[in-house]
Amino acid sequence: MNGIKIVGTGRAVPKKVVTNDDLSRMVETNDEWIRTRTGIRERRVCEDETTVSLATEAAKHAVEAAREQLRNRVAETACGQQDDIVGYIKDEIAVVLVATTTPDYAFPSVACLVQKALELPDEVMSFDISAACSGFLYGLDICRGLLSNAKKRFALVIGSEQLSRITDYTDRGSCILFGDGAGAALVELSDNLYVQRQWSHGDMEALRCPGVGNDNAKLFMQGNKVFKFAVTALQQGVAQVLADAGLMMEDVDQVICHQANLRIIEHVQKKYPEHAEKFYVNIDRYGNTSAASIPIAMDEMRRSGILPDGSKVICIGFGAGFTWSAVLFEV
């Protein structure tokens, strides 16, 4: 089995909503300026929540969604009783992988703390990766490889970010973009269609944030350079996985772009004008949540019924590093 199938998804966002008008009281900006340049109307910002708590909540929702999907396949799970399905799922998780650039601690990892919160067995590989906004898609392919040699069935892939912790709220060019949140997917190996590409190109100038040992670490971004890179990366990624799969855009049901800026997504839509409606957008409500943006969107789409089992979807992410990744698969 060379592919990945989504068994369940979940998401978690902070309770606090920060609107564009709220930001206008913190920095020189206004609602119209932000909306016309980014498509963002509001974002969520942590108060009591943390990267770990958001990741844990999203993971719990993903496990619960998987329980519902497996409910009608009890015989396949070999768990005997429907009441045992959650326990079966937890026992069969081989990997907990968290993609994040904003862990609560240098160590232990967010993934290890999620493993503890979910009360998973000790025989679980738990670790974080840092690939910025591409992290969730990098994580999918890492888990695909790990599951191919695992004795257990599932992997839990999570993107969780508390970007408000590293946002410079005196910089109106960047502070308007970011929000906090988490998304999770419980996955298993599958014979379904699966094509993925990853890229990276080291760049310290365009997008960076100091690490451990910096008391006032804040994100720095050269907006124009990042914008140009993102447009190129998205267009390249979509075209590449379509070519690798031998498919055309009309064969694809949905496209989930990393939600960084509405204008970036629109540039890709223009390449496929007859299929613009396939590009999912929720940046207006969450802003840029980095590694969490794709799984948050995926969960919304599955729960609303627009991404049912068997759908062919392209997911494409890009972020600091630079890193970028694209996957075309059947969910």
Annotated active-site positions, please?
133, 258, 288
Supply 202's token pair.
Answer: 């080291």
Residue for token digits 């068994």? 7
Q: Quick one: CA dihedral 211, 217, 221, 226, positive or negative? A: positive
How deeply is 202 buried, as exposed, middle or buried, from its count of CB atoms within 10 A (0-12, 13-18, 19+)? exposed
How is 147-165 classified by DSSP, letter by letter? HTT-SSSEEEEEEEEEGGG
Nearest to 115 by CA among 55, 75, 161: 55
**C-alpha dihedral, 37 to 314 to 204 to 218, nearest 10°:** 60
What are the E-state strand segments in the chain?
3-12, 16-19, 42-45, 93-99, 125-129, 154-162, 180-190, 194-200, 207-208, 220-221, 254-257, 279-280, 312-319, 323-330
CA 310 – CA 138 distance, rounded (Å): 22
What is the crossing angle of helices 223-245 and 262-269, to 10°?
A: 40
Cβ distance 289 to 101 under 8 Å? no
Cβ distance 62 to 9 under 8 Å? yes
Supply 275's token pair.
Answer: 């299929």
Q: Residue 83 CB: number of other CB atoms within 10 A?
A: 8
Cβ distance 315 to 302 under 8 Å? no
